[in-house]
Structure 1
Amino acid sequence: MQPLETTPTPKDLRMLLPHGAISDIARLLKLSHAAVSKALQKAKPAHPAVAEAIRLIKASGSQTVQQDLDRLNH
């Protein structure tokens, strides 16, 4: 697997999150669901919601699955 810095970021991190993760991140960080969703759309690494989303994506293996699907489609 490539390091995160060289891995292309999907257009929307929300697509790689497990079901219910946005709500979980919102509760954890005491932010609104809309604020977390918007932060994930912008995908700015300095935002705590984005950092938590990346941690969850790595833990769930979604990024690896997405990369495998991308390879199959080429």
Structure 2
Amino acid sequence: MKELIRKGFTIFLMLFMFGGTLLVVGQLLGMIIQNGELMIQTSEYIGKPTFICAAIAGTLGFIYSYFPKEAK
């Protein structure tokens, strides 16, 4: 169970980091080319899935912290 949660955490962490990067780059591009619609659409299409992945990663990280540490 511990290994499954760790792998899930890693996957969702990578997804939300990638989504966050796309979100920032899309909004920065919209700002540079002065296209407000691009900034809004970037937030609408990429924002919600990214925030969901971040919430899942945070929850899995919280659960993972309750597992006992491995003995050396």
Relative contact order: is structure 1 or structure 2 higher (C-alpha 8 Å, sep ≥ 6)? 2
Query: TM-score per shorter chain, which class?
Result: 0.3 to 0.5
Q: How high is the TM-score relative to the length of structure 2?
A: 0.33
- TM-score (normalised: structure 1): 0.32
Quick check: which has more Rg, 1 or 2?
2
Higher share of residues assigned helix: 2
